[in-house]
Structure 1
């Protein structure tokens, strides 16, 4: 099975891809193109092969850099590929180096890929709800601007993540967002008593647009609802599965 690559129309001129679970060599409950580390320090043969296949599907010959993601709003700027054993504790990256492939891992959180091709600058962010409300996309835009990007020229795409129909939260969660900005109520829909459904994708797209990003595209793909195509932490938890996988989203300079 070939690697499943979803591309954004807005990033058509940029090597990139939102990958799913198809096309990898992992077995068991995380069968497919699982890029998860699950606390392991060393890259085993299955993970190494999945990483190779992922890069080959999007930007052959480039070097993959990933992060030790911690659900923060931290963005790092890369001037050279990251050694896998020294991954920064952060949730976003920016670079102007053509040999680097930026990789973000997700399993319901929103992957965001960004580019200003005129400036030769790209970015990638892992936007879970904590990072999203904390400003991880704003930090990514600022890091890109420090490299010469212009936010009005930046094109951003929000990839597969858990959709509002699948994302039930409690009233305390909702209050956290509405206390930050009353207009955030638009990203919630009432559910059963004491609960609501949260539109993570819509909120992340809003944060990008509000920051002045010139073009924002949301792909509208629900990781929770499509088990054949995507890994999902929440789905695995609801099913009582012993483990869950992580898909990768990649971007490189043309």
Structure 2
């Protein structure tokens, strides 16, 4: 199985991976390692995919899964649970709790402090990112935490040459921060822009005092062999990024 190991400076007791669509048991439009149980794939097959992934990644427990709605809700979890939580971010300070963020173009953001005592997994679509999902995740960390001691990894997502957006998306970011314009390039069509989600997330993190930001640079849209992409394919599977404290 081809798993992505983040190239970042996380402490040794913090483990993180991101899935690809390679291997797995799903067929048809979900071909490969589909982890999404809500996309129309056979549920038993999805559960087999999830079990295989957990075994291959040597996870200490089954991941905590989310019912993601492009919100800014971040849930704190203290123990593994089979319940699917209504949130777009997870935070824990407990070892052995595997956090997940499911994506198929949106940006997965993994966070840890340098001490390896707190971690977070965030599903950041453009709406959640603009509305403050990353800010909410950091607010759930210890109040006295020096943000300079937070490390972030940005996983596979739709890239800056593939994510075409309208004026509404541009305005949502630029109204909050004029520097956000640096993350947009005109497509040549009136009112259409190419948006750089990695840069937008990095700007938000930097503004919060998080300067240790590592980006995968991987584009889901342009690599159909390795990644699912909702914008490219419509009906498709889901990837996920995971983080836990050993």
On the 8 A contact 1:102/1:252 being kept in 2, the answer is yes
Q: Deviations over 1:217-244 (max 9, x none)?
A: 011100000000000000003xxxxx21
On the 8 A contact 2:11/2:116 being kept in 1, the answer is no
1:244 aligns to 2:241 (yes or no): no
TM-score normalised over the length of structure 2: 0.92
Which whole-Å CA distance do the structure 1 matches of 2:104 and 2:69 have between them? 13
1:253 aligns to 2:245 (yes or no): yes
Question: Which of 86, 106, 118 is matched with 1:89 structurally?
Answer: 86
- Pairing 1:180-219 to 2, within 5 Å after superposition: 180-194=176-190, 195-219=192-216
Aligned to 1:233: 230
Aligned to 2:119: 122
- Pairing 1:73-152 to 2, within 5 Å after superposition: 73-84=72-83, 87-118=84-115, 120-146=117-143, 149-152=145-148
Q: Deviations over 1:200-228 (max 9, x none)?
A: 11101211121112411011100000000
On the 8 A contact 1:64/1:103 being kept in 2, the answer is yes
**Deviation for aligned residue 1:79:** 1.2
Aligned to 1:24: 24
Which whole-Å CA distance do the structure 2 matches of 1:149 and 1:26 have between them? 42
Q: Which has the higher helix share?
A: 1
Q: Deviations over 1:170-204 (max 9, x none)?
A: 22322232222222111100112221100011101
* Structure 1 residue ranges, 4+ long, deviating more than 4 angstroms after superposition: none
Which whole-Å CA distance do the structure 2 matches of 1:205 and 1:164 have between them? 13
Q: Deviations over 1:134-158 (max 9, x none)?
A: 1111111111225x75422111100
* Cα distance change, pair 77–53 in 1 and its aligned pair in 2 (3 A): same
Root-mean-square deviation over aligned CA pairs:
2.0
- The secondary structure found in structure 2 opposite 1:145 is coil
Q: Which runs of 5+ in 2 are unaligned?
A: none
Q: How many aligned positions are there?
A: 244
Which whole-Å CA distance do the structure 2 matches of 1:119 and 1:251 have between them? 11
- The secondary structure found in structure 1 opposite 2:130 is helix
Q: Which runs of 5+ in 1 are unaligned?
A: 238-242
1:223 aligns to 2:215 (yes or no): no
* Cα distance change, pair 20–12 in 1 and its aligned pair in 2 (3 A): farther
Which whole-Å CA distance do the structure 1 matches of 2:20 and 2:87 have between them? 22
